[in-house]
Amino acid sequence: MIKEEEYKKRRDIFSKKLKDNSIAIFSSAKPKIRSNDTEYPYRQDSNFYYLSGFKEDNSYIVFMKKDNIAQSFLFVQKKDAKDELWNGKRVGKEEAKKRFLFDKILVSKKFKKFKKKLKSVYEVDKDASANVSLMRLIKSKAEINLIKKAINITEKAHHRAMNFDKISKKEYQLQAEIEYLFKKNGSYSDAYSSIVASGDSANTLHYIENNKLFKDEDLILIDAGCEYQYYASDITRTIPVSGKFSQAQKELYDLVLDVQKKIIKMIKPNIKRSTLQKKAEVLLTKGMIEKGILRGEYKKLIKNHKHKRYYPHGIGHWMGLDVHDKAPYKDKNNKEIKLQKGMVLTIEPGLYISKDDKDVPEKFRGIGIRIEDDILVTKKSYKNLSSNIVKSIEDIEVISSQLPKNLEFIRG
């Protein structure tokens, strides 16, 4: 739980970045139509939530700075019995005054008039959203605890996926089991659309159909994470349908896992994300040469982007209020932002080999592997927040094969 004092502290920090004699305006997310008159579940805009902790739509935050003195205003939808009958209770102006530490609380119907009056006097600060995004790079202790909770729930789901009897089942049945564990353990929603990709489907990076029948000889790439109190987790594990990896699957899996471990060990303050990317590309390319997937000298292959045929994506991304957190990778001078204590990022190397790729040894065709963990940058090094989610071949095979199929496996 994040206390109201922390949201106020964020607004105070943001106010210091605000230009004098200017205003900044943040609007709540708008409800999104699913079809006709049905809507998707509402989720607040992440920047808006970061500054306020307020979850309702039709609301606004206004910052006003004059003579280097800043004020913050929250506009909320007024209480209306008819609207609440259909859409649920509103906080309303009076309750908001008690709960939220803004300088002033107003009703949303006054916003347009208020905005028009301010814009005639003050300049609109164009860097407002960028400044909030930059603030979101460094997580507070409370934010890290919420991310840990999301990962803890996701751990249960991934271990259950390993233990789940997949024979003669379809991908969406395993997806349902994963997402059931999310909700059973207190997650409001998935952090993103779950990927449950078996066999060659794992070679489609954003595969979400999840409708194929599992085949005993296939691997399953599961990229699934839940959201807890608006904070995301993002975990990928690759597991065998049968509970046992084939020799070819082991070879590629161990290559990806070894690369991931080496990249994670590199994480510390002042290292660049691009350094991690380049090292991952070198290690994966050398490994592919050893396996006969690529042929040639590794530096030349990388220079000509030949490795991207099998490893097309980045080594990782920021994570927080959004699974791909809206935080910059470069500063205002276009220089890459180095890792700092309190940042959270994913590390996710992978290899993707199409079943139709005749340029690689036949035994590797149709195999897609990704392994992804969520990493916190500490004062001198790192902490793997998702280290309890097993990923060695031995541990995966133990959970898949030796525990009763109707038990939920919880490590620790």
Same domain for 130 and 171, yes or no, is no
Structural domain contains residue 339:
yes
Mean pLDDT, rounded, for 359-386:
98
Closest CA to 238 of 337, 135, 114, 372: 372
Structural domain contains residue 195:
yes
Structural domain contains residue 412:
no
55 contact partners, CB below 8 Å, separation of at least 6: 44, 49
Average pLDDT score, the chain = 95
Query: What's the structural domain count of the chain?
Result: 2
Same domain for 21 and 87, yes or no, is yes
Would you state the structure tokens that stand for residue 272, as one six-digit string? Answer: 């660049």
- Reported confidence tier of residue 337, pLDDT bands at 50, 70, 90: very high
Same domain for 158 and 42, yes or no, is no
Structural domain contains residue 244:
yes
Do residues 76 and 105 touch, judged by C-beta distance below 8 A? yes
Mean pLDDT, rounded, for 83-92:
93
Same domain for 183 and 115, yes or no, is no
Residue ending a domain, among 135, 165, 187, is 135
Give the integer Cα–Cα distance in Å for 319 and 327: 9
Residue ending a domain, among 135, 153, 176, is 135
- Reported confidence tier of residue 410, pLDDT bands at 50, 70, 90: very low
Distances (CA, A) of 75 to 43, 109, 111: 18, 8, 7
Query: What pLDDT does 222 receive?
Result: 98
Give the integer Cα–Cα distance in Å for 180 and 327: 30
Same domain for 116 and 177, yes or no, is no
Query: What pLDDT does 412 receive?
Result: 36
Same domain for 174 and 307, yes or no, is yes
Query: What pLDDT does 405 receive?
Result: 46
Question: pLDDT tens digits for 291-311?
Answer: 999 999 999 999 999 999 999
- Reported confidence tier of residue 88, pLDDT bands at 50, 70, 90: very high
Question: Which of 48-62, 246-260, 289-303, 393-407 is predicted least confidently?
Answer: 393-407
Query: Which residue segment(s) compose the domain that 9 sits in?
Result: 4-135
- pLDDT of 146 above 50: yes
Query: What pLDDT does 402 receive?
Result: 60
Same domain for 159 and 12, yes or no, is no
- pLDDT of 404 above 80: no
Would you give the DSSP letter of residue 16?
A: H
Specify the CATH number for the domain of residue 8: 3.40.350.10
Query: What pLDDT does 37 receive?
Result: 85
Structural domain contains residue 411:
no
Structural domain contains residue 410:
no
Mean pLDDT, rounded, for 407-411:
44
Query: What pLDDT does 409 receive?
Result: 45
Same domain for 131 and 104, yes or no, is yes
Closest CA to 99 of 243, 211, 236, 3: 3
Query: What pLDDT does 72 receive?
Result: 97
Specify the CATH number for the domain of residue 355: 3.90.230.10
- pLDDT of 272 above 80: yes
Mean pLDDT, rounded, for 317-326:
97
Same domain for 173 and 230, yes or no, is yes
Query: What pLDDT does 227 receive?
Result: 98
24 contact partners, CB below 8 Å, separation of at least 6: 14, 18, 62, 63, 124, 125, 128
Question: pLDDT tens digits for 149-167?
Answer: 999 999 999 999 999 999 9
Structural domain contains residue 408:
no
Do residues 367 and 252 touch, judged by C-beta distance below 8 A? yes
- Reported confidence tier of residue 21, pLDDT bands at 50, 70, 90: very high
Same domain for 81 and 154, yes or no, is no
Question: Phi, psi (5° rounding) for residue 375?
Answer: -120, 130
Do residues 84 and 90 touch, judged by C-beta distance below 8 A? yes
Catalytic amino acids?
Answer: 37, 206, 223, 234, 313, 317, 324, 348, 352, 370, 372
Do residues 316 and 347 touch, judged by C-beta distance below 8 A? yes
Do residues 56 and 77 touch, judged by C-beta distance below 8 A? yes
- pLDDT of 145 above 80: yes
Same domain for 149 and 194, yes or no, is yes
Structural domain contains residue 407:
no
107 φψ region: left (φ > 0), alpha (ψ -120 to 50), beta (else): beta
Residue ending a domain, among 86, 105, 135, is 135
Side chain identity at 72, as an amino acid letter?
A: S
Same domain for 175 and 116, yes or no, is no
Question: pLDDT tens digits for 165-213?
Answer: 999 999 999 999 999 999 999 998 999 999 999 999 999 999 999 999 9
